[in-house]
Structure 1
């Protein structure tokens, strides 16, 4: 038996993509994530907990923006129709790939049944799993703001952190102790603001620990602690690469489902319009397997769910055997039990890699047999409470390991907008709101400021995907922020219908507090 532990950490996040229009691209993002990732993940964890043969333990970060979408009644009311439209499309298909079509129909029906069983209350299901100690739920920055690029105004970082903590407490009754820092990005002094918000631990990319001062005695294989009382864990690339890499890892296996071949690209515009979609885009209906790496999309072979399941079992066993060898090797040079940290975006499991939830299930089934102890970050700190005192290195898990993916020619213009708006927010909140009627306005301005700071839009501008949508979102929230702020500055009466529209569309963070942006004396 290997002496050591494995902590699987998932980061569940979507930007605030609430849309007033049914059938929008933003709505598709959310509903596809529900049906492919979050509902299957919940079922996997619940079934594992109820089984005497499985031993589920994971840490999962649920971002405040994702939680706001999960809580939204308008979106909840649209989900069933969205799924039923996909079922109708599958029923009407005249395809030779009947095995894959039937499998996908059953998948949609299973997720809809899972949704109906809790009346769409996924937050309540996550809470029950946390109470049962199956999962440890982390928060994230309020809108996934890239914190190192907001540091010019420390109060802007505080606003991201304290709003997140307040929202988490509202939904889960208790404040979070851990946080998934957006993009695992860290800068010197961030730990002080984290501690001020009551946050006690987070995950960094490997070099955040390896380049810490002084150099950690156990490298990545034990958490460190700063003088502010905040612990940091380091990502272990050996434990993540086999799952993370589509090229070299398990998700690229020829038997697994192809992500990019979607019926939405194959159907004609005429057929798409019949289901209320006016442009070609993914529907979440995928019937082909990856096949060989050199196979073009139009020549992909039919997906075989039975062959895929057999490969999942094999890959899960291989993954655990490799972790066992790794732990046995590490324990020879450590006087404490080594800890492997394997963090992933949650949507890898189900959305990007359709078989991902099955893979997790197999890990829960096979871990004890292989002598691997699955553990949450919170539990690991309870076991090992004497941590080496170190200062982490500035870092992120983005390309290049630092900030260049969120600060480059495609998106650097946003940083100036954040800084300018952040300064104004701090100035107004520090002076205090004189008129009671302005309190409602400044709260909405705070929401708009947070929403424009989402790192998702910076990422999209760099990636070059839906750049029009990203620019539209950034500019919309910045414009609304300044309209609200200028109404306060110039003592103007804001148009009631405008405020009602903005509050309806950007209905997030009901307990937001402008005090978080007040400058400390």
Structure 2
């Protein structure tokens, strides 16, 4: 086979906030179970099948520590198994009214139950570790609860990252050398904290590199590499106006058969109201997957050929997406992924991980990155704009209380560990995102305020010397925020530990 025209890296970012024990419907655990059933199960099964054929370096998968904790949690494992059974029962209940839809959903639910019971009953970590050890995946880590890094105090930012990287090492047996920086948020100097934590590569959005994403770039004077998301390639899928998932033959996400909760329609047209959408046709959807996968492979190859001509050597393109797009939002997404990953090597494209791209020398000159994110405007407005000014102020108060409550000691302090856990949950970037996008904004404000209130309460009790009252208060919560058993608040005082 001739030399590849260049390298393609697929990066998937898997993240949900801590939902266990915090509501069920319309926002809460149901959100987790839908994403787990319709995205995480089928996407990982695609990787498992391709790995069984001997394929390696398939993709780079980010699983945030807060999501990984839920994918291993006994309560959540039991919950998703019940949800899968409920999906099967809903299919049965629709059989008399919608026999074709019910039969399809029966088969899908049965397959999902089989995959879950075969691969997932002991949680995600054993499965992900096996695929990583086999060389099929590179797993990315990240800060514990997906906080927006640029808005954190340096000590809190380092603590969140250290907690997250430690969590990945506990679950997977190795500390990640790459991370998905939450929301691709970056402020100048953050690379120094990454280097100190042993992080060697992270993601930024393409505009942070002024669109020049053909090679990884060392940031400043560090040896930490920034990989830029290639928007010209990524938006073939991601664009809300012209991306593949909006094609007329794919299953429509927003149209429900309300008695069963099943989805009976295809997109039909972008401006077609739900009541006028046509019935879903699996054969049409299969043809659309083949057509759009071929188009994507063509776009990737043309992009890499153009880069090779410009650079005088093979280059790189990185397509990065939320994992939840594939299967949850875009029903046919996992099938499209599998088709693309099979077709790219036949088109002369090397498929690799970020680690593999760095090892292959796909690295350019150092770069000074501007403040940036992958949000609206590619700046910080989603997480720091006027619409969330109250949340920003609240998070500043949480950080102040956290830093004021830590104390050195020879032994771990469960009260301060609980306070630190609640602080990290309060600092999740999800709450500001949901408010800015007006997506379950009330739930987001309630969650942020609830965690912040717990921080304030524990800090006040500690300051007053009322330790036993603090312990009783924590016990009254019933363990609903027991996210990271290894979290050690002394890590906020580096000199306190060897």
Are the equivalent residues in 2 in contact too, given 1:100–1:304 (CA < 8 A)? no
The one-character-per-residue Cα deviations of 1:355-409 (angstroms, maximum 9, x if unpaired) are: 1100111012211221111110000111107642222221111110100111223
Q: Where in structure 1 are there 5+ consecutive unaligned residues?
A: 212-218, 273-282
Partner of 1:382: 359
Q: Give the counterpart of 2:11 among 3, 9, 12.
A: 9
Q: What is the distance in 2 between the residues matched to 1:310 and 1:39?
A: 23
Are the equivalent residues in 1 in contact too, given 2:215–2:362 (CA < 8 A)? no
Are the equivalent residues in 1 in contact too, given 2:77–2:123 (CA < 8 A)? no
1:368 aligned counterpart, secondary structure: helix
The one-character-per-residue Cα deviations of 1:51-70 (angstroms, maximum 9, x if unpaired) are: 36x66610010000110110
Please give the residue correspondences for 1:18-417 in structure 2 after superposition, counting only pairs within 5 Å: 18-19=20-21, 25-51=27-53, 57-93=58-94, 97-118=98-119, 119-150=121-152, 153-210=153-210, 219-226=212-219, 227-263=221-257, 266-267=258-259, 283=261, 285-384=262-361, 387-417=364-394
Give the CA deviation at 1:424: 2.8
Give the CA deviation at 1:22: 6.4
Q: What is the distance in 2 between the residues matched to 1:64 and 1:103?
A: 34
Q: Give the counterpart of 2:408 among 413, 420, 432.
A: 432
Partner of 1:455: 429
Structure number with higher relative contact order (C-alpha < 8 Å, ≥ 6 residues apart): 1
Q: What is the distance in 2 between the residues matched to 1:490 and 1:308?
A: 63
Q: What is the distance in 2 between the residues matched to 1:453 and 1:161?
A: 13
Q: What is the distance in 1 between the residues matched to 2:52 and 2:100?
A: 30
Partner of 1:278: none
The one-character-per-residue Cα deviations of 1:263-291 (angstroms, maximum 9, x if unpaired) are: 3xx23xxxx8xxxxxxxxxx4x2121111
The one-character-per-residue Cα deviations of 1:3-43 (angstroms, maximum 9, x if unpaired) are: 21000100001100011666674111011011100000111
Are the equivalent residues in 2 in contact too, given 1:68–1:508 (CA < 8 A)? yes
Q: Give the counterpart of 2:481 among 506, 513, 518.
A: 506
Size of the alignment, in residue pairs? 491
Q: What is the distance in 2 between the residues matched to 1:6 and 1:451?
A: 35
- Check if 1:516 corresponds to 2:494: no
Shifted more, 179-188 versus 438-447: the winner is 438-447
Partner of 2:451: 477
1:175 aligned counterpart, secondary structure: coil
Tell me how large the CA RMSD over aligned residues is: 2.1
Give the CA deviation at 1:97: 4.4
Shifted more, 302-311 versus 387-396: the winner is 387-396
Give the CA deviation at 1:455: 0.7
The one-character-per-residue Cα deviations of 1:326-354 (angstroms, maximum 9, x if unpaired) are: 11111112133200011111111111111
TM-score by length of structure 1 reads 0.90
TM-score by length of structure 2 reads 0.94
1:389 aligned counterpart, secondary structure: coil
Partner of 1:491: 465
Give the CA deviation at 1:422: 1.1
Are the equivalent residues in 2 in contact too, given 1:200–1:229 (CA < 8 A)? yes
Q: What is the distance in 2 between the residues matched to 1:509 and 1:306?
A: 45
Are the equivalent residues in 2 in contact too, given 1:100–1:302 (CA < 8 A)? no
The one-character-per-residue Cα deviations of 1:155-186 (angstroms, maximum 9, x if unpaired) are: 11111111111111110111010000011110
Are the equivalent residues in 1 in contact too, given 2:33–2:79 (CA < 8 A)? no
Are the equivalent residues in 2 in contact too, given 1:59–1:135 (CA < 8 A)? yes
Are the equivalent residues in 2 in contact too, given 1:101–1:287 (CA < 8 A)? no
Q: Where in structure 2 are there 5+ consecutive unaligned residues?
A: none
Q: What is the distance in 2 between the residues matched to 1:116 and 1:386?
A: 42
